[in-house]
Amino acid sequence: MTTTSRPEPPHALDAEGALLGCLLLGPAVGADPFAAVGRASLDQSDFHSPSHRLIFDAICQVYASGDDVDVVTVAEEMRAAGTLDAAGGLEALHRLQNATPSVSAVGIYVERIADTSRRRRLITAASELSRAAWEGDDRAITRAIDEMPAASRTTSQRAGMEFVDWDALFSGVVDERPVVDEFAFRGRWTALAAKPKTGKSTLLMHVALACHRGEDPFEGGARRPLCVMVVDPEMGRLDVLERLCDLGLTPADLVGLHYTDIVPKLDTAVGAGLLLADVDRLGVDLLIIDGINGAVDGPENDDTTWRPFYDLTIAPLKRRGVAIVTTDNAGHGDEKRARGSSVKVDKPDAAVFVSRTDHGVKLTTTHRRTAAYAKEMTLVIRGADGSAPISYHRSASSWPAGTEAKARELDELDLPREASNRDARAALKAAGRQIGTSEVLAAALRYRRTGLTHSGTVGTPTGTLSPQLFGTQVGQENGHAL
């Protein structure tokens, strides 16, 4: 019986030995091999030879202590650690030092070591992926795919972090205009939670349709049409089709609104990758995940489910400048937060509790990272009895005190209606006026954009939905909560 031996993994033992020799010679030769090692972020694991790993580790220990690195100090360090004999003894250190080809080529040695190390990591990751695929172990497949990007990085990429380009940040590359005033913003995550039969899904479908048509969902008026994606693990496409047909909409009316009920698991690298690929391909502005518990594979109450969900899905979406709105079920009793893991409350930019009122719904922000989110917003629903298309519009009582006065002040400065928060602050400062609170300034900007009169009267919104779309009772369809 013949056996086939497995080939030796990629390695560069000559480069490893040459680099160690350079390090043992030290800066006395007119070069700084330690700087080359630092720039490449080499560590012990990048060496293929076990004895080379031991010697490199000892060299690093001596260098970190501030002592001169040479054969004597490294030998003492290894003797104290009990590793000198395993690495070949003092003779091995002298041999490395004496056999150094050229210290000036230290950059080449480092590059060869880093390259073969990366190739070994890729082989290991690919082997694990192959094994998991043959065995049908889905979780092992996910882990192997998760590790593949790290394995493919160079040593410098492996250790490096991405730092902010201050010029780009201050040049206004970030679009400050809200997607939905005081509710959804580019690069931010709004997490809604509600008790059953509150109508949160109805509300978000209204928001989605209004935004893709270029209408403000709560105030009316024209806005730039947005590319909207709705990911729905709960309500199926047949239900949505029936409601859209009842509304009299055609595919041409829905261009820019992308809906799916085939939802990948967004706490896995594979699922998150599928979603992000579509977001990039379509150029999505607003993403709605209606029922996030159905979009994950792990246990609802476990942090180990929601941290990967945030790291793999939410964080990349935020970096892309996508506005994210999710829905979830609230906890039991009087709890006004999403049930389950604390990550659902700690990570969102705003946690919003949705409750029913006599005439509509109330949005209460229980946690927010910026005053751009409204503390409270009361939405009045018209047409719930079927007498007219359903419409959500903001109650006049939702404006914070001082909004009208600050709006007049901005009018006096001839500030354009579409001015950003930064523009308003600069104009007020230049005129020697008080900026006031962030909440009131944000409300005043939105107040001016809606075209409201300074009497505080709320006009009839133009963004409406037919009652047939969601049934004649708000938040109900065929007796079931939406």
CA pair distance 217, 162, nearest whole angstrom: 37
379 Cβ partners below 8 Å, 6+ apart?
203, 218, 360, 361, 362, 363, 392, 393, 394, 395
Sign of the four-CA dihedral 173, 179, 183, 189: negative
Quick one: tokens of 232? 């729905």
Q: What is the predicted pLDDT for the residue at 149?
A: 61
Please, which pLDDT band fits residue 160 given cuts at 50, 70 and 90?
low
Supply angle C-alpha 47, 78, 54, rounded to 5: 10
CATH architecture of the domain formed by 13-119:
Orthogonal Bundle (1.10)
Of 60-64, 80-84, 88-92, the poorest mean pLDDT is in 60-64
Residue 462 has what pLDDT? 37
Per residue in 199-223, pLDDT (tens digit) is 888 888 889 989 999 998 988 778 8
- pLDDT for res 154: 52
Rg (CA), the chain: 30
Residue 457: other Cβ atoms inside 10 A: 8
pLDDT at 478 over 90: no
Most confident of 81-85, 104-108, 142-146: 81-85
Torsion, Cα 130 135 138 140, to 10 degrees, reads: -60
Chain centre to alpha carbon of residue 308: 10
**Is the domain defined by 189-351 classed in CATH 3.40.50.300?**
yes
More reliable by pLDDT, 206 or 241: 206
pLDDT mean over 31-55 = 86
* Residue 119 burial (C-beta neighbours within 10 Å; 0-12, 13-18, 19+): middle
C-alpha distance across the termini of the chain, in Å: 67
Residue carrying the six token digits 């080359």: 36
Q: What is the DSSP track for 216-270?
A: -TTT-SB-----EEEE-SSS-HHHHHHHHHHTT--GGGGTTEEEES----TTSHH
More confident residue, 101 or 156: 101
pLDDT tens, 265-307? 898 877 887 888 889 889 999 999 999 999 998 887 888 889 8
Residues 199 and 475: beta-carbon distance below 8 Å: yes
Q: What is the DSSP string of 308-370?
A: HHIIIIIHHHHHTT-EEEEEEEB-STT--SBSS-THHHHSSSEEEEEEE-SSEEEEEEEEESS
The domain segmentation of the chain, as residue ranges, is 13-119, 189-351
Read off the pLDDT of each residue in 363-379 and give the average, rounded to a whole number.
89
Tokens found for residue 347? 């990570």
pLDDT value, residue 428: 93
Which helix (H) or strand (E) segment holds residue 69: the answer is: none
What does pTM read for this prediction? 0.57
d(CA 305, CA 303) in angstroms, rounded, equals 5
pLDDT of residue 455: 42
Per-residue pLDDT at 325? 97
